[in-house]
Structure 1
Amino acid sequence: MADRAALLERLRMLRGIGRAFTDFRGHTRPLSDESLCGLLGAFGHDANDTDSLARDIEFLEARDWIRVLPPVTVLPSGARVPFTVLVPLLPSIRWWIELEDGAVLEGEIDPAELPRVEDRHLRGLWYRRLALDVPALPPGYHDLRLSKTDGSALGSTRLVITPGGCHVPQAIREGARVWGPALQLYTLRSARNWGIGDFTDLAGFATASAALGADVLGLNPLHALFPAEPELCGPYSPSSRYFLNVIYIDPEAIPEFFASDAAQRLVATPEFQARLAALRDTSWVDYPGVTACKLEVLRQVYRDFVLQADRERRQEFLLFKNKHGHLLETYSLFHALQDHFVAAGTMGGWPAWPAAYHDPEGLAAAAFASAEADEVEFHAWLQWIAAGQLEAAADAAREAGMRLGLYFDLAVGPNAGGAETWGHSDLYAHGATIGAPPDPLALQGQDWGIPPFDPDTLREQAYAPFTRLLRANMVRDGVLRIDHVMMLFRLWWVPQGASSAQGGYIHYRLDELMGLVALESTRQRCLVIGEDLGTVPPEVRDAMAAAGVFSYRVLPFEREADGHFRRPADYPRAALVALATHDLPPLASFWSGSDIDLRERLGLFPEPDQASEERGARETTRARLMEALRREGIEPAGDPPLAELQRYLGASPSAVLMLQPEDWLEMESPVNVPGTHLEYPNWRRKLVADWPEFMTRDTVRRLAAGIDRGREPEEV
């Protein structure tokens, strides 16, 4: 009988499971056998069946040798394409490349004259991997086929030629150092919105920010959530990352609203206005209340669109549906089904539905789509409206003078019960969730509850889902932040039933994924920022630098080996710098230590003395920050010294500086407490003032003026 330990070790290597990792304290943490078995189980392997393990290993080892070409080949222009053939070699092989623009290149080669990469003996046969020289090709998606001279096919691959790096806007290339606010859109208050920041607020806030000198406006993920279950409001656990959160729609900005007497009468009633006033007045977003109001009106506006819309508007909607095709159809069908099942009392998304509905292409789903075609169409219409209003906000930012415009945020994964996993169930490892090992933000580790891409299946599909995801989130001439950019290299998988600390790292093809990011970035003229906080392997930072992906540097973590804060001059040029993030407390809370009190009340310190230790460490941190300011000739005056810290970071050569409106408003309540779910109302806290009022305050104007003076273009 084969040695089980040896089989597990071989399968671990084939699946890219890390044997150990270095934690945030610099300690090496080995992967336990229990965790390894759990992670292999997430790939569908039975760790207790040695015969099954042996068969799985044989298949994985043979697969990439017995086929001539892999499903996808991602290379820079001019690189040789590896392919595999049987020995003895054919006397001649024909190659044929169809370029993305339809042009065709072809030729004939003698395999014996090609460079040999490697030989392998499998199942009594010898295979040889060779390197094929192909003509220099433009960046893009091409198709390479190999055949015998008689025309019979040998194999094919999607040949992705990558550019030298990501797009960097001209202003940044010319030395500009820009700044802007980092906004959680739902936190915006205004006298006209319906209890949550919306796309009309976004356009106005962008214009007001540009008037203060901002060139970029950062946003939380705007991905589609769950209108039928509005309490599922976490922007980093979306239903679908391909589409938008319709709660941000401004119903009164839809052209058909003005033609709908019924909708206008409904909104004008004293009862409805009282509901809106109550929603605006709360300190926390009332997601069920906001969703109920908006959907009630949006359904009426949709009915009037169906009955009364002019030909031009109908044609625009049809073009939108054609553009997004099957992806939009599946998304819309999912949400129509979710409405149906939630109304019947079934919560939790598609895994809780009857099994007949688990297949989007199955008979049950098809019958529902036919019977409830209008409901399905309604959800597609909502996406069209949302996309149009977001595009108008992006246009407003540009028209106001922002050189970078809107900055979108791509979440690391979708909710396990949402439209994205329903439509592409085979693409995800459902036996594990994504999280993070213990770190300073969450000493118990984190389990985000979202399923990871199966790296093998993703590659077998030639990375098409990943490419579509980039296209859906890269705004042209804008900025994309990739949350947890380490996902391009490795993800912390937590096996089902295990704690986050019992997870392990699964590796992905960093070179290929980074090449796709660069290709889509250049096509959309979109600056890419990788959120590289936490434990960052050197391979990731090296790949980011090579591909032109900007780093994400946050002041509290930018320390030298002795614990002192890094000087502004030592920050990298290709970086975004910030005082904090949505996972950190606002500056006022950080300075007072009230965030430590909150975490203690929530039971987030595993050991009894850790809160006291944290308070002592915070006192040292504050002292070192004051020391860092004075070292740069900045005398701290504020308590906390917000203006001085903004000036400190603003003096760095880093191209982008992001600031939080919460700090301008001296707020202490965090928007999110990592490591909590129901213990704290994450993603609900609003700003404490209406944005049209506080954006014109003298204090905010002075803060902005100070930033602008410190971020003038420098010579490069």
Structure 2
Amino acid sequence: MTPTPTTDEWGIDASWLDALDEEHEVAQETIEKLREIIGTPPDDLEDRAPIVARPGDALEVDAADAICEDGELRSIDGHLPEDFPLGYHWLQSADGRRRRLIVSPGRCWLPAERSWGWAVQLYATRSRESWGIGDLGDLRSIRRMAADQGAGFVLINPLHAVAPIAEQEASPYLPATRRFLNPIYLRVSEVPGADGVDLEEEAGRALGDGELIDRDAIWARKREVLMRIFFAHGGGEAFGRWREQQGRPLQDWATWAAITEEHGADWHTWPEELRRSGGKALDAYVERHGAVVAFHAWLQWALELQLTAATDGMTVIQDLPIGFAGGGADAWTWQDVLADGVSVGAPPDAFNSAGQDWGSPPLIPWRLRDADYEPFIQSIRATIAGAGGLRIDHVMGLFRLWWVPRDGTAADGAYVRYPAEDLLDIVALESHRAQALVVGEDLGTVEDGVREAMAEHGVLSYRLLWFEDDEPATWPAEAMAAITTHDLPTVAGLVGGADIAEQREHGTGTEEELERGRTTLLAQLPGLAEGAAAEEAVEHAHRLLAQAPSLLLSATLDDAIGEPRRPNMPGAGDRPNWSLPLPVLVEDLPGHPLLRSVVRTLADGVAGPRAD
């Protein structure tokens, strides 16, 4: 029987289980340090923290008035009526106290039909028209290609914004914000007002001539031209109305972005008077730099227009990173909710013997509740908006997160618990409102009960050929099935040996570890002839994948063109991770013979029987 870790009143687990179910004790020094960081919630927190419930639920509150989102006033006495509206409401007691009431359907929206689709690293998917990086115009082309092929969805890397500075953050999984988009993805020629400015498009397109994606050069070029368009056009009344509708969140983002251009990407290093949103000093800064603030707001308007056009008529599953940069906009806005002195990561496992430190500060669970879950709600809503799908990176983080002390290694951390039931119900509510499916990345060490809770809430599991011991035909129906991810070898890289050679080059493990890992993954391709060519291996792997009865079958463009390099190699700090372009341009993808073979295989798989 698997032991259950002891959790203290701060939510810290005293021990943890590794992938082999071996128990490890957390050092008392670590526990004491985390307790100090978490702090003690106020005595009245339970009386004011939000209530997350479903219609018909009993409520542990006395008689109160519920002020619904639409302004309707309803009386609550002991339970929610079955016909109570879903949404974000307020409970007001007789003594005038208010607390948030979040009413969820409890299950995410799911499509009725099975489908297959493409997993796309958009930055890598360049065309002859893009300026050195795959953009939203290219996403539109991919969506049209996918629709013509009979695909039902496209899964894309996170498109969240990073600091708009000269040195661009390459990793899509360490954004400055999870609420706004990265303007580097704009198709400049399609921005409103672009037709009135000399875009110097030849110089822009020349940015795609290099072997790597040079974000610094691309952003410098795009920013200069976009600024000229903004000052010549300004967006007019349409932008003005949109900006007003977005309210405080957009203003905060645009203000943070403007300040970064002058004082750098980490708000901790800014002048003292600018380190908090709000206040007279910040108002004065905005007044002095109003044009730059407006420019960054205008970029978000242009991004929304292009994303809407790019996703029209198809489910585009956007990726939600587990966290955000500690010096970024979300950390600046919600600094009172964040833990200081720790970052999020993962304990040692079979694939990372030293553990992982992802660099993002975690939200303190009780402070998140005290903030009415607003940081979480806004991040989910913004990422799911207008696309029809959401993939939650490291979905286990809704249950617990591995906190790594700043002065220690990843192995010196501990798990801290989160209010998973509330968070899953909020995801279900946002999914229901947007009619968007939700996939949870439940890879690696998954504790007992996580997948059961995901299934109860209609969150699709994420099953990989590289990870699963069972045959694909036995995988669950409520899942997204795939072969690999951006962090793991491509089929061609694995079979041809290029991936292990690159791991050796970058020193990501001992020779024994690397050989064992490759042998383990090759065993996931039963029936593959010895010495098979990369193209044969790709076709074979997708025939195996097509046997899965899962709701969604996902194939990477990298595999479909026989690319030997994975997008990201964890632990290889000197490798150009997240900067490798696909060697096949967007316009040439539909005619690629191996890609066409993958399309036929997955289409046949989806047409087959689905498990009940």
C-alpha spacing 1:276/1:99, structure 2 compared with 1 (3 Å): closer
Partners of 1:675 and 1:616 in 2: CA distance? 17
Deviation at 1:197, TM superposition (A): 0.5
C-alpha spacing 1:29/1:691, structure 2 compared with 1 (3 Å): same
Deviation at 1:549, TM superposition (A): 0.3
Deviation at 1:207, TM superposition (A): 0.6
Identify the residue that residue 236 of structure 1 maps to in structure 2. 173
Identify the residue that residue 209 of structure 1 maps to in structure 2. 146
Deviation at 1:409, TM superposition (A): 0.4
8 Å contact from structure 1 (residues 223, 235) kept in 2: yes
Identify the residue that residue 471 of structure 2 maps to in structure 1. 567
Q: Residue type of the partner of 1:191?
A: R
Partners of 2:541 and 2:123 in 1: CA distance? 26
Deviation at 1:95, TM superposition (A): 2.3
Identify the residue that residue 394 of structure 1 maps to in structure 2. 311
Identify the residue that residue 594 of structure 2 maps to in structure 1. 699
Verify: 1:378 aligned to 2:302, yes or no.
Answer: no
Q: Which has the larger radius of gyration?
A: 1
Please list, as runs of the form range in 1=range in 2, the aligned pairs for 1:433-582 lying within 5 A after superposition. Answer: 433-476=343-386, 478-559=388-469, 566-582=470-486
Please list, as runs of the form range in 1=range in 2, the aligned pairs for 1:314-393 lying within 5 A after superposition. Answer: 314-341=236-263, 347-393=264-310
8 Å contact from structure 1 (residues 71, 156) kept in 2: no
8 Å contact from structure 2 (residues 553, 602) kept in 1: no
Deviation string 1:23-52 (CA, Å, 9 cap, x unpaired) is: 1122111111122123223325xxxxxxxx
C-alpha spacing 1:298/1:621, structure 2 compared with 1 (3 Å): closer
Q: Residue type of the partner of 1:165?
A: R
Partners of 1:300 and 1:229 in 2: CA distance? 18
Deviation at 1:595, TM superposition (A): 2.5
8 Å contact from structure 2 (residues 126, 135) kept in 1: no
Identify the residue that residue 708 of structure 1 maps to in structure 2. 603
Identify the residue that residue 132 of structure 2 maps to in structure 1. 195
SS at match of 2:558: helix
SS at match of 1:285: coil
Verify: 1:407 aligned to 2:317, yes or no.
Answer: yes
C-alpha spacing 1:669/1:446, structure 2 compared with 1 (3 Å): same
Partners of 1:105 and 1:521 in 2: CA distance? 25
Match of 1:301 among 225, 229, 250: 229
Match of 2:160 among 223, 232, 236: 223
Match of 1:619 among 519, 530, 534: 519
TM-score by length of 1: 0.81
Deviation string 1:423-470 (CA, Å, 9 cap, x unpaired) is: 221121122111111123322111111111111111011112211211
Deviation at 1:416, TM superposition (A): 0.7
Match of 1:672 among 568, 577, 582: 568
Partners of 1:245 and 1:620 in 2: CA distance? 38
Identify the residue that residue 554 of structure 2 maps to in structure 1. 658
Verify: 1:280 aligned to 2:208, yes or no.
Answer: yes
Identify the residue that residue 16 of structure 2 maps to in structure 1. 21
SS at match of 1:441: coil
Identify the residue that residue 540 of structure 2 maps to in structure 1. 644
Identify the residue that residue 74 of structure 1 maps to in structure 2. 52
Deviation at 1:640, TM superposition (A): 5.0
Match of 2:93 among 126, 141, 146: 146
C-alpha spacing 1:449/1:620, structure 2 compared with 1 (3 Å): closer
8 Å contact from structure 1 (residues 43, 431) kept in 2: no
Partners of 2:534 and 2:494 in 1: CA distance? 14
Deviation at 1:339, TM superposition (A): 0.7
8 Å contact from structure 1 (residues 552, 575) kept in 2: yes
Q: Residue type of the partner of 2:227?
A: R
Deviation string 1:35-71 (CA, Å, 9 cap, x unpaired) is: 2123223325xxxxxxxxxxx5xx65x445xx6x332
Deviation string 1:392-414 (CA, Å, 9 cap, x unpaired) is: 0011xx1xxx4xx2110011111
Unaligned segments of structure 2, at least 5 residues: none
C-alpha spacing 1:704/1:298, structure 2 compared with 1 (3 Å): same
Q: Residue type of the partner of 1:524?
A: A
Deviation at 1:670, TM superposition (A): 2.1
C-alpha spacing 1:133/1:360, structure 2 compared with 1 (3 Å): closer
Identify the residue that residue 109 of structure 2 maps to in structure 1. 167
Q: Residue type of the partner of 2:210?
A: T
Deviation at 1:662, TM superposition (A): 1.2
TM-score by length of 2: 0.94
Unaligned segments of structure 1, at least 5 residues: 1-8, 45-55, 84-92, 110-131, 307-312, 342-346, 560-565
Partners of 1:304 and 1:621 in 2: CA distance? 55
Partners of 2:215 and 2:79 in 1: CA distance? 57
Deviation string 1:188-225 (CA, Å, 9 cap, x unpaired) is: 12111110001111101111122222111110000011
Q: Residue type of the partner of 2:353?
A: L
C-alpha spacing 1:393/1:230, structure 2 compared with 1 (3 Å): farther
Q: Residue type of the partner of 1:32?
A: A
8 Å contact from structure 2 (residues 325, 359) kept in 1: yes
SS at match of 2:349: coil
8 Å contact from structure 1 (residues 302, 378) kept in 2: yes
Identify the residue that residue 126 of structure 1 maps to in structure 2. none
Identify the residue that residue 591 of structure 1 maps to in structure 2. 495
Identify the residue that residue 290 of structure 1 maps to in structure 2. 218
SS at match of 1:425: coil
Partners of 2:452 and 2:419 in 1: CA distance? 14
Identify the residue that residue 97 of structure 1 maps to in structure 2. 66
Q: Using the aligned pairs only, state the percent identity.
A: 34
Deviation at 1:639, TM superposition (A): 5.5
CA RMSD of aligned residues (A): 2.2
C-alpha spacing 1:712/1:363, structure 2 compared with 1 (3 Å): same
Question: How many matched pairs?
Answer: 605
SS at match of 1:426: coil
Partners of 1:585 and 1:448 in 2: CA distance? 20
Partners of 1:164 and 1:63 in 2: CA distance? 27
SS at match of 2:241: helix
Q: Greater shift after overlay, 372-381 or 534-543?
A: 534-543
Deviation at 1:713, TM superposition (A): 5.4
SS at match of 2:317: strand
Please list, as runs of the form range in 1=range in 2, the aligned pairs for 1:246-285 lying within 5 A after superposition. Answer: 246-258=183-195, 260=196, 263-264=197-198, 266-267=199-200, 273=202, 275-285=203-213
C-alpha spacing 1:548/1:436, structure 2 compared with 1 (3 Å): same
8 Å contact from structure 1 (residues 444, 604) kept in 2: no
Q: Residue type of the partner of 1:145?
A: Q
Identify the residue that residue 4 of structure 1 maps to in structure 2. none
Q: Greater shift after overlay, 508-517 or 701-710?
A: 701-710
Verify: 1:31 aligned to 2:26, yes or no.
Answer: yes
Match of 2:81 among 124, 135, 143: 135
